[in-house]
């Protein structure tokens, strides 16, 4: 019983630390998934994103996974989170911006919003 309690407490603490270290930013979406800057014409699925130039870091971000949560506007957010893999560069994105695939964006927000506020962290 004591070990189970320790494991549960550790999981809760890890979850709280993870959310506390989330990066605030914005998200938009794109619809043409291939070719991508990281993988050319290789299909990497639909739960993908393009990183801003700073995050992309000359391709160092390729393959990294991020958990993304919509934080506003509230009427656009679904309340869900999505995990995406960086497969592309978004040269026009700001330092705090991710460009999600439309499919990934739709998991966390109504695409009619176009641009939302997010929190994201590497997983």
Q: Are 41 and 35 in contact (CB under 8 A)?
A: yes
* Helix boundaries (H) for the chain: 2-20, 53-56, 102-108
Q: How confident is the model at residue 117 (pLDDT cuts 50, 70, 90)?
A: very high
- The whole-model pTM stands at 0.83
pLDDT in tens, 62-72: 999 999 999 99
Q: Are 85 and 64 in contact (CB under 8 A)?
A: yes
Q: Which domains does the chain have, with CATH numbers?
A: 23-122 (2.40.40.10)
Taking the alpha carbons at both ends of the chain, their separation in whole angstroms is 29
pLDDT in tens, 73-96: 999 999 999 999 999 999 999 999
């Amino acid at each position: 019983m004591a070990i189970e309690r320790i494991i549960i407490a550790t999981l809760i603490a890890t979850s709280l630390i993870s959310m506390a270290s989330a990066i605030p930013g914005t998200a938009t979406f794109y619809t043409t998934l291939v070719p991508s800057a990281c993988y050319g014409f290789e299909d990497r699925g639909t739960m993908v994103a393009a990183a801003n130039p700073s995050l992309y870091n000359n391709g160092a971000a390729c393959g990294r996974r991020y958990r993304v949560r919509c934080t506003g506007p509230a009427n656009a957010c679904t309340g869900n989170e999505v995990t995406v893999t960086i497969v592309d560069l978004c040269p026009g994105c700001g330092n705090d911006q991710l460009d999600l695939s439309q499919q990934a964006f739709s998991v966390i927000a109504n695409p009619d919003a176009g641009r939302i506020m997010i929190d994201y962290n590497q997983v």
